[in-house]
Structure 1
Amino acid sequence: MAGVHCFGRPQPQFPPLRIYSTISSNTLKTPFGNSTQHWHQRALPNNMSQYSGKIVFYEGKCFTGRKLEVSGPCENFQERGFTNRVHSVCVRTGAWLCFSHADFRGQQYVLEHGEYPGFYSWNAHNDRMGSCKPVGMHGEHYRIEIFEGRHFSGLSQEFTEDCSFLSRQGWDKKWINAIKVYGDGAWVLYEEPNYRGQMYLVERGDYSSCNEWQAASANIQSLRRVINHF
């Protein structure tokens, strides 16, 4: 996702709030349950660099107003003295999964390296954002297999490149019920062709049903790789 630039942006007038979050040995709420071990498997594998990137959230459009700098998982912006209304974002390093609500819940947004001057630039319909976490990345080798049925049943097809419309690549279904991510990188799934509609992130691992990537529906019609920049 290319960064969207806003020229002539004013300097923020308030000092930043800084968060350098680390994962403790205590149980942590995650999109994949309350298990710390499960969080490590999905998001921060052992061979991943301890430095997970940096993202900056702004209260105002075009990078104005108070800002919140984050360098690790953040469960609740408001508990850190910030707001749950975000109008612009700057991803300085890494790739990030942001959520419309606290505790890694709600609508998902994948933000990669670049500038986002308004919530429309990350495909949101409003400015609500309450939590975020870095995307787990292992390298630059991408491979994903999609399945027609739950629990890896039925027809399957593999991809190593972005696909703007699955039906053009021989996948004649409008749904995906299970996924295996074999490669190093993460992928974004979209409900509509051309990378539009609600999006979902899948990292390396097995997903036996759409519920495991937090989707209410199995409808997926395009997918792309997450590109990480450090």
Structure 2
Amino acid sequence: MFIGVIWLIYEESGFQGIPFILEPGEYPDLLFWNTQEAYIGSLRPLKMGSRKVEIPYEPKIIIFEKPMFEGRQVELDKETMTFENLEIPAGSGEDEGFPFSTVGSMRVLSGLWVGYEKPGFEGHQYLLEEGDYEEWSNWGGYNGLLQSLRPILSDFSTPHMIMYSEKDLNEKGANINVLGIIANMEETGFGMKIQSINVLSGVWVAYECPDFTGEQYILEKGMYSNFGDWGAKSCKISSVQPILMVEVFSEPDFQGQNQIYEGDVNNIDDSFKIMSCRVSSGRWALYDKEDFSGNLWVLEEGTFPNLCAMGCPHDASIRSLKMISYEFSEPDAVLFGKENFKGRRVKVSKESIDLQATGYSPDLMSLEVLGGIWVVYEYANYRGRQLLIPPSRIAQWRQFSGWNRIGSLRPLRQKRLYFKLRNKESGMMMSTNGNVDDVKLLRIQVTEDNVAEDQIWVYQKGVIRCRIAEECSMASAGSLITAGSKLGFSLDEPGTSPVLWSISPEGRIHNRSKPNLVLDVKGGNQYDQQHIVLNPVTEGKLTQLWEICVL
């Protein structure tokens, strides 16, 4: 049984000899290998998304009837079970009336392909990455026959995987939701012993050692019941990172030269002009000057076939791009009719495609973003120049932006986030204390870092929940929210609204209804000295500051 990834098996050790490709599934006998007996000398998982496969989305290959790219030729962009019925372009060779029987050479223009010795995807298999293959020995052919082809497609969507401490995705042990980069698994408290993994989306790279070093394993969407499924010899994984990607092209409609970026780029070469792009994961800001300066345009996941679709002028030149980080607060902004936050006020908590059409004058003079990250547009319908505004206060909007108006605005979408909270004074982790079967008796405190799920928290739509009780939300233990109140949990019941929280950039966790109250460690010498309480904001008090460790 092969689970989760595509495998290459070899008859000789050291990955030598002709590889045979096995996709996820069960193989009860050796009929797939066209043999009764076989010796497997070595095997390895296919590493999708490697640097040799730079254009994974639109597979394209040109096959030639003879070696050295001679004879009749056909361009393919999808699978073909047999070459006999191929439509051969007129004028491509002398023998136009005869069927195209085999491949003598080929050019893989984009994508990752599998070639088969026989029609119908049968016989020996050959992995074909982007590049030229002058004759059959270049693709490691067993003989001169190659009579069917198909592409392999990858998933680079928003990354999310669950790692388990037990085999077979057993939830009786500990597990951890991972949504982003982890440079050292030890620092999460979960540890480095990973027995099974469920990749829900995206493509990941796992490393044996911290800081993305040592043996690496590519993890694609699917289930891995044990460490052998991802090609490892032990269950040790010390660091992981998703392949967050934006792919840009030098021509509209995803044509021309392409480049793939997996992180911030502060200087795009002048010789490369971005004309279209695909955002596979993450949220990105594109700038028309180096070092993330000048005009910007915000792109979320999707396809953008031209500059107009990206929101850019037709003559725009993209010179740098930056991935947009997370924000732990719900969208909330106030627009003012005068400078310095005076005059009429317009409160917004969701997108507004046209401020003037909703009855508000667009000539606003100051802005306060209380929560969320907002994209502000000069004109209605999300047109014109854009600015990306995190929580902040802008007393003189026109001086700040150079605009005379705000035409439309919208908050950036943000996915569900899992994280741990480390107190900056003690280094201890925020945890739950009590029996999960009786939610009313659960209290929140700080404890030493460990692998338990009671230290994993979830943030979505302003609500904070604990991984062990996601049907409950963090709330004041009493009926009133006052200074000194201990923290506990409240069941989500129809007709009730959960308590909302926001986390400031410096690490304070504010109650949304009473922003001056933040989470603090009680302290003192009593039995409850490690309990979490609400206290007024006190500058310089480290027990009120928390480090967010996104998982």
Q: Scaled by the length of structure 1, what TM-score is found? A: 0.68
Aligned residues with identical type, % of pairs: 22
| RMSD across aligned positions (CA) | 3.1
Q: How does 1:1-230 map to 2 (within 5 A)?
A: 13=109, 53-78=244-269, 83-125=271-313, 126-139=315-328, 141-172=330-361, 174-183=362-371, 185-210=372-397, 215-228=401-414
Asked if the contact 1:92/1:114 (under 8 Å) is kept, the reply is yes
Asked if the contact 1:113/1:229 (under 8 Å) is kept, the reply is no
Q: What secondary structure does 2:251 align onto?
A: coil
Determine the C-alpha separation between the residues in 2 that align with 1:140 and 1:112.
19
Match of 2:149 in 1: none
Q: Scaled by the length of structure 2, what TM-score is found? A: 0.30
* 1:228 positional shift: 4.2
Q: Which amino acid aligns with 1:203?
A: P
Using a 3 Å threshold, how does the CA distance of structure 1 residues 117 and 144 change in structure 2: closer, same or farther?
same
Determine the C-alpha separation between the residues in 2 that align with 1:63 and 1:72.
20
Determine the C-alpha separation between the residues in 2 that align with 1:211 and 1:196.
18
Higher relative contact order (CA 8 A, sep 6+): 1
Using a 3 Å threshold, how does the CA distance of structure 1 residues 142 and 197 change in structure 2: closer, same or farther?
same
Using a 3 Å threshold, how does the CA distance of structure 1 residues 142 and 196 change in structure 2: closer, same or farther?
same
Asked if the contact 1:95/1:229 (under 8 Å) is kept, the reply is no
Determine the C-alpha separation between the residues in 2 that align with 1:51 and 1:218.
41
Using a 3 Å threshold, how does the CA distance of structure 1 residues 51 and 146 change in structure 2: closer, same or farther?
farther
Q: Which amino acid aligns with 1:159?
A: V
* 1:56 positional shift: 1.8
Greater share of strand residues, 1 or 2? 2
Q: Which amino acid aligns with 1:180?
A: E
Using a 3 Å threshold, how does the CA distance of structure 1 residues 106 and 60 change in structure 2: closer, same or farther?
same
Q: What secondary structure does 1:120 align onto?
A: coil
Asked if the contact 1:10/1:64 (under 8 Å) is kept, the reply is no
Q: Which amino acid aligns with 2:402?
A: A
Match of 2:38 in 1: none
* 1:188 positional shift: 1.4
Query: Where do 5+ consecutive residues of structure 2 fail to align?
Result: 1-56, 61-107, 111-129, 131-240, 417-551
Using a 3 Å threshold, how does the CA distance of structure 1 residues 210 and 176 change in structure 2: closer, same or farther?
same
Query: Where do 5+ consecutive residues of structure 1 fail to align?
Result: 1-7, 16-49
Determine the C-alpha separation between the residues in 1 that align with 2:388 and 2:263.
17
